[in-house]
Structure 1
């Protein structure tokens, strides 16, 4: 175990190309000299220090799914527009359409509360592998899992005792190592500003995952704290948070090959995926998922274009559906172009040959590749059924989800024996209905239902087909269900809730949308879920061995732990790329290119008149470089989902931009990184400041920041 831990901590340091990988901050010292050779002027302790203020104290986990950075001593935060989209949308009405025209708080009193939104600071990260695995040497199966859970509970309790912090322990490299993550979660996060969608979402689906890019993908929030500058629930008595560190903002000129570093919370990567599973994803799973979302978007997009009210209802949903949809299209293309499956097969051959050179290695690792591929082949169909179920039930027709959610509230029949609890349940359900039906159109949902249900049936194996879907006339069922079901009609739904009783709850079981949900869900649980769980358990066990073998047998290869929504550092340069033969991507874009796109007439490139006025006047102020206003730039930093909003830092640790996307050719990097073509896309912070200061006349926010000129 000691030898393995040494390999895990040290072997990671031998990178062939520095751009690949997402570094656990506690291991930064192993990369310090390489980063400094690329131009960095900082030390590892400047970036991450558990005992003193450092850059990590300005990097926040925003809402649990994005990253944000603190840029003033008053808790002012920047993140992406798409990360704050649901909050901006929630505050928007037809009378005050902040999505369309933007929002800028003139004073702190005008900043808008967002119930449930959090911003979390990483207090410290600690390798607790030995303590987590203590006493597990002779255990296996359920006994092993129980002992690990017990150890984790004790370690978390000790780490948070006497503090207001929270903590968790996460496995890395499939359980070869464990890290303790101690956090400080702030509960009062207010919306300060957002540009209009013509800035924040400029390019729409046309430009999503595409370079060149001209999107001002940013929004502004502020953290508030209670007494002693500690987290507190929303209160008018709370004060702006005073951070341990905030990022200076650089408006200095940029140049190609400048050092760049991204610090954030990347979501998930799957670099160890075995060849047979990857081939199935490329050839079968992703195309089917894309087709399901094709159907939703084919209904939603024209409806949004026809009505501003519908745009407000569906903008957030459309963005949620379209983001992964377009990413998957690019991901398949990139993996095929890069011959990813063949490269996986070649590596697996090399791995097995290496294992056979040593008796000890052969015993531990000799058959693991064969075992993983056999396992994937056996369970790929079950895993596919699982993924399609998720598409249909979680990203498909909302009326089905409403049936599922309501059933979840009614399943506890004991609540009907308590008048006080029943009254509270009714109040909660009615309040939830107001928010849900505000952004729901039954006709749109019905058309999505028809298309997606037919597609779902097409992809289901007969052995996994719910009875209700066998031989279904989808169009007829949809017409009847959306006419009768309480889940598709606000008035019927609220009337049902107002008269809710045990007797009426039982009548709900005859609702056509509930019957569909219930049969599909029951079939999934009885015929799919168990196989998926078996697959996941066995795969994780084999992957733990497989990854350990990589570290032990190939210590000079580039190794890094898959992203898992924990704080990571990646570094590279401000640079373009050559994605395909005959095409060169320049490393930055300007406002001129934005206007050129607008002039094509594509509605995704709409701008408001003020943008054109300022462009024609060339009113760029202190934010220009050589007479032009940079909008976006690319870098060779390895990023993924969750890195949205991450600070992009220069050699001195100053903020130069906000990471918000990857090029289409880069979406393959979740499975396989190619340093020659994979690029992250950043909105230049000078464009962000120009929008605030010049375009929106919100210069008081820029005045809070420390500008590096």
Structure 2
């Protein structure tokens, strides 16, 4: 193992300057060794220490992980955070109602007192990171089997994390890179008093909605503002009226200089997951098994939700965040399927694997280490695909975005167990409090009609698709009791279950005892949840984990072999939800013959798309007035207001909300999406097509200043 690690680092440091334009998600602490030379050649003026440093303020100090899945950036010395509208969408929605529809009309806090707290929202700062590979792999050698290796690595990681957290309020994590060939320690500070400051209306912040999602050209002002608060010592604190705006170590200077074609740009943030080095069999599995079916399932869900939200304002507000969550991956999967074909992704991977095997065969030592890797991949994926498919399917049905009544029934499982096991009252009351809070949140955003109609579609699909060991027992009732009528089956489920009725559930939580536990277990929603859960754990999850572990072990060997084999390739680490730097240039692209996409869009394009009859394309009246009068303030160039721009920075999910910086490290935009044509960049990066989409900071300022008249925020961003 130590030998593999040494090979990895030597190759990385030698090859770092050979990256293709825009490709790569780089580790900030290694930028000085691997990237800064090329960055200077591209025109960047920042130093490695400007980007990341332990003993001085740096750009990474102004980056936050926003919630659990986005990024944000500090833009004032009073803790003001900019992120995407779609990252703040669920929190904006929580504050919205028919009477106060902040989703549609926007929200502006004109003083600190008007800012809105957000339960469960956190922002996380990276305080330091370091390579701990040698410490993690201490005691690991070639004589260890996989179980022994995993046990030793886990013990070493636990020790490192405990030491990092000792006598501090910090959190820490050790993350694996290159499938276990390298490890880094990350130390974090987490703040949990984060308040909503500004949200543009849907006609700006969600302009184009799902129709335009993942596409270019784009005209969305996808931003929102929040503020992080701290106690009097500038430390994290639970929400309190006595908290004060956090004073950051560093915040971004906002530039109104604008962008032009060819400008160097960099993106800092927390990209989620990429899998650049998977074998052909992985992509084949996604193409032939996984994506077509999960797209079909989400088609069914979206068909129902779309039908209701068109005519019902209350349901549109209730299901705004759910709709976005369902639709986002749905459209990405469709784009990746298209990209797999157009890029011949499987064939290209197969050709690469053939060349790898030919190289391996030339040397006995290589044959001993890598001779069976590709054939083992083929064998494992031959079985793994069906378990991954079953797992994805069941989670789509029984998860929070599936049949909600069945999901909610599953949330009562722990309470029932505690009562049956005779646990002490404190444990039971704690679980009751959790469920009371859950019920309030759930029913605020729940429609029985939507849930029932989704259930009809999903039950019919399950009845047709799930066979043998993956088939839950309740599906057989459809034929034996309901003569194959899925709607009648679902109607009886909702007629007999209490899991679509908040009042009955509140009463149950208050008065539950062992006798009522037996009654709950007879409830059809709970029985169907139990059937689904039984299939998941008894027939799917165990084998899925065994095969996943085999793939993890094989991936580590494969990664090491690739680094030895392909000495002309840069092996940057896959994204794994840790902070990364990507850099590239502002540029358009040509998606197909005869089509040229420019690098920017303007407010002219917003007005061209304006359609007051279509919710997602209805431009706010004030914006129309400003456009007609050409009242753009200082944010336009030659009378033209830029809205969005594209560059070839390598981004993925999790980079939503990432600050986009110019050559001097100043904020020029906020990343919010990728272009459909290069959407396969999580698995196959295409230099000619892969583009990240950002909202221009000048459009953001125009909305804050000219649309909202929020001079308090403009003065804060540009003090003095």
TM-score bracket relative to the smaller structure: over 0.9
Equivalences for 1:399-414 in 2 at 5 Å? 399-413=405-419
- Structure 1 residue 464 and structure 2 residue 470: aligned? yes
Distance in 1 (CA, whole Å) between partners of 2:418 and 2:229 is 38
Which secondary structure state, in structure 2, belongs to the residue aligned with residue 628 of structure 1? coil
Distance of 1:681 and 1:75 partners within structure 2: 25
* Structure 1 residue 276: Cα displacement: 1.9
SS of the equivalent of 1:682 reads strand
Deviations 1:277-308 (Å, cap 9, x if unpaired)? 21121122101001101111111112111011
- Superposed displacement of residue 244, structure 1: 0.8
Alpha carbons of structure 1 residues 409 and 423: separation in structure 2 relative to 1, 3 Å: closer
Match of 1:617 in 2: 629
Q: How has the CA–CA distance of structure 1 residues 270 and 461 changed in structure 2, closer, same or farther, with 3 Å as cutoff?
A: farther
What's the counterpart of residue 70 of structure 1?
Answer: 74
Residues 8, 560 of structure 2: 8 Å contact kept: no
Q: Which 5+ residue runs of structure 1 have no aligned equivalent?
A: none
Superposition deviation, residue 398 in structure 1: 0.7
Q: Equivalents in 2 of 1:594, 1:192: separation in Å?
A: 25
Contact 1:11 1:555 in 2 (8 A): no
1:305 and 2:317 correspond: no
For normalisation by structure 1, the TM-score amounts to 0.97
SS of 1:488's equivalent in the other structure is coil
- Structure 1 residues 624 and 199: CA distance shift in structure 2, 3 A: same
Instruction: Provide Cα deviations, 1:363-402, integer angstroms capped at 9, x if missing partner.
Output: 1112211111221012211111111112112231111110
1:23 equivalent in structure 2? 26
Preserved CA contact (<8 Å) 1:249 1:707: no
Corresponding position of 1:433:
439
Between stretches 56-65 and 7-16, larger displacement belongs to 7-16
Counterpart check, 1:135 vs 2:147: no
Counterpart secondary structure, 1:36: helix
Distance, in Å, in 2 between the alignment partners of 1:253 and 1:399 is 50
Cα distance in 2 between the residues matched to 1:600 and 1:547: 53
Q: Secondary structure at the match of 1:67?
A: strand
1:424 CA displacement = 4.5
Q: Distance in 1 between matches of 2:220 and 2:233?
A: 39
Structure 1 pair 12–381 and aligned structure 2 pair: CA distance change class (3 A): farther
- Structure 1 residue 543 and structure 2 residue 555: aligned? yes
Contact 1:251 1:707 in 2 (8 A): no
1:450 matched to 2:462:
no
| Cα distance in 2 for residues equivalent to 1:600 and 1:195 | 17
Partner of 2:178: 173
Structure 2 unaligned segments of length 5 or more: list them: 479-483
Counterpart among 598, 611, 626 of residue 610 in structure 2: 598
Q: Does 1:608 align with 2:611?
A: no
CA distance in 1, matches of 2:693, 2:205: 14
Runs of 4+ in 1 over 6 A off after TM superposition: none
When structure 1 is superposed on structure 2, of 480-489 and 547-556 the one drifting more is 547-556
1:581 aligns with 2:593: yes
**2:532 and 2:119 mapped to 1: Cα distance?**
33
Name whichever of 141-150 and 505-514 sits farther off: 141-150
CA pair 417-557 structure 1, distance change in 2 beyond 3 A: closer
Distance across 1 between alignment mates of 2:664 and 2:677: 30
Q: Is the 8 A contact 2:59 2:665 kept in 1?
A: yes
What secondary structure is seen at the aligned counterpart in 2 of 1:487? coil
**SS of match in other structure, 2:18:** coil
Instruction: Give the CA deviation at 1:416.
Output: 5.4
Q: C-alpha separation between the residues in 2 aligned to 1:687 and 1:409? A: 50
| Correspondence for 2:481 | none
Match of 1:37 among 32, 41, 52: 41
The structure 1 residue matched to 2:644, chosen from 632, 642, 655, is 632
> Which deviates more from structure 2 when the two are superposed, residues 595-604 or residues 248-257?
595-604
- Structure 2 partner of 1:534: 546
The equivalent of 2:680 in structure 1 is 668
Displacement of 1:600 after TM fit? 8.4
1:324 has 2:329 as partner: yes
Matching residue of 1:560: 572
Residues in 1 aligned to 2:430 and 2:347: alpha-carbon distance in whole angstroms:
58
Pairwise CA RMSD: 1.6
Render the CA deviation track for 1:12-55: whole Å, top value 9, x for unaligned.
51434131110011121211111111111111111111221100
Say if 1:7 and 1:552, in contact at 8 Å, map to a contact too: no
Aligned residue among 64, 77, 89 for 1:60:
64
- SS of the aligned residue for 2:597 comes to coil
**Equivalent of residue 403 in structure 2, options 397, 406, 419:** 397
From the superposition, tell whether residues 617 and 557 of structure 1 become closer, same or farther in structure 2 (CA, over 3 Å): same
Q: Note if 1:236 corresponds to 2:241.
A: yes
Select which of 178, 189, 196 maps to 1:191. Answer: 196
